[in-house]
Structure 1
């Protein structure tokens, strides 16, 4: 019964409405509000109480298909105060940084909160995420977006601070940076991570990656440096007509990782 109730739209929920051309409209459900569009209007009260996957008629007779948004949809449609990390990168970031249920994670560069939301879901109730930003407006925006997506979250703490000076956490499983100059954080990263912990940085420019890698190489407690770039292409599949989409999500950023280790013994 509880599982079914979670599928029912309630006031305060987000809903994504699809028209016959699969165009998406995201709405924040309130009893007295109304969705208005060129294909007719729909009272929010007619959505509230219905299960996901319902077809709902507008005032002009057009049918809208209603679902709760996936994390993918919410990430692309949520309010932004900074460039987001896109879904195509989020999956690889959490995989390469070894995020798992119960993990202790530090994030720097809260931004609009796309990574924060993903981390919160992946570490689960037994894990925790400490999210840092030097700007209060960024931190508040990330917190607001997380609260809208999951009002019941209890595993993320937001902080205003500069992680290049110090990271007041120890035995951290993963440290993830979305910062323009992550090479300034290498020493702090070594102090906060546990042995075997992962240090990951997301950067838009390869020259930034080069500067970061050179700094990591100088530190005796890091090894196994790796940099990747993710590209995503959709395919159009319609009967016997199968071809790649003309539009491709190519470069958005580089993902660089390294692992904390015991300093390598010097040769005798």
Structure 2
């Protein structure tokens, strides 16, 4: 049953999405008409509710995917297709210690928190206080009972407090400036990841990794998500797709190869 304080996702007949937080005596207002929150409170998800103009909307609790794509934000989110790949490649699991540089709007923060569980911990850095506050606000909306994230305001180019991290994840425009700090904070065998929108940023970042001689297995990927329309004899790719959102570069920290070390 829905209760006050719950996040709710509404779908209209064209599958347009509306994300709201339920409050007693409040109203959802749109071009389709109004729905009283009290009409949703107390019913089970999967029900239909009708606006005062006669339009029917389908009501669910939002999945993580639905929440992060539709939540309030002041920065571009890392889409679920990318966050899933990041979590998999970083080998995050229950108990992982993770550093995130660039809290943004909190989409990746939410995904990491769920992946590492109560025994893990995420330290989420952002240079801007407003970004950190928005990320924390969105995080608390979806995961109000989770306490495995510490939000920090700080410049990772200058200092990362934590050591022996299992993974460090950059969502910054110039992550190459923070590679030296990451090298100190990441354990050997740990994974370093950067999410970047342009290939020239990737090139600069990869160069910075190679110069340290302590990152190996460097790999860059781009993920495209294409839905399909299935309807009788009409089976075709959908006209809309989630195309380029960014490049993801992975690497692992290693010791300097002995023959390279001796030539330094």
TM-score band (shorter)?
over 0.9
The Cα shift of 1:206 comes to 0.8
Q: Which moved more, 1:13-22 or 1:226-235?
A: 13-22
Partner of 2:248: 255
The Cα shift of 1:227 comes to 0.5
Q: The residue matched to 1:36 in structure 2 has which SS? A: strand
Aligned 8 A contact 2:226 2:241 in 1:
yes
User: What stretches of structure 1 of length at least 5 have no aligned partner?
Assistant: 1-7
The Cα shift of 1:133 comes to 0.7
2:212 paired with 1:206: no
After the TM superposition, which residues 3-22 of structure 1 pair with which residues of structure 2 at under 5 Å, given as runs? Answer: 8-22=1-15
2:130 paired with 1:146: no
Partner of 1:122: 115
Q: Distance in 2 between the 1:38 and 1:179 partners?
A: 37
Q: Distance in 2 between the 1:208 and 1:72 partners?
A: 27
User: What stretches of structure 2 of length at least 5 have no aligned partner?
Assistant: none
Partner of 2:232: 239
Which segments of structure 1 move beyond 6 Å, counting only runs of 4 or more? Answer: none
The Cα shift of 1:163 comes to 0.9
Q: The residue matched to 1:243 in structure 2 has which SS? A: strand
Q: Which moved more, 1:241-250 or 1:39-48?
A: 39-48
Q: Distance in 1 between the 2:6 and 2:112 partners?
A: 21
Q: Distance in 2 between the 1:99 and 1:224 partners?
A: 18
Pairing partner for 2:130 from 125, 129, 137: 137
The Cα shift of 1:192 comes to 0.9
Q: Deviations over 1:96-150 (max 9, x none)?
A: 1222121110000111111111111111111111000111111111111111122
Partner of 1:58: 51
Partner of 1:265: 258
TM-score normalized with structure 2 length: 0.94
Q: Distance in 1 between the 2:39 and 2:188 partners?
A: 54
Q: Distance in 1 between the 2:162 and 2:206 partners?
A: 23
The Cα shift of 1:181 comes to 1.0
The Cα shift of 1:88 comes to 2.1
Instruction: Output the aligned Cα RMSD.
Output: 1.6
2:147 paired with 1:164: no
Partner of 1:3: none
Partner of 1:228: 221
Q: Distance in 2 between the 1:84 and 1:60 partners?
A: 34
Aligned 8 A contact 2:118 2:148 in 1:
yes
Q: Distance in 2 between the 1:204 and 1:162 partners?
A: 21
TM-score normalized with structure 1 length: 0.92
Q: Distance in 1 between the 2:31 and 2:186 partners?
A: 53
How many aligned residue pairs are there?
261
Q: Which moved more, 1:129-138 or 1:96-105?
A: 96-105
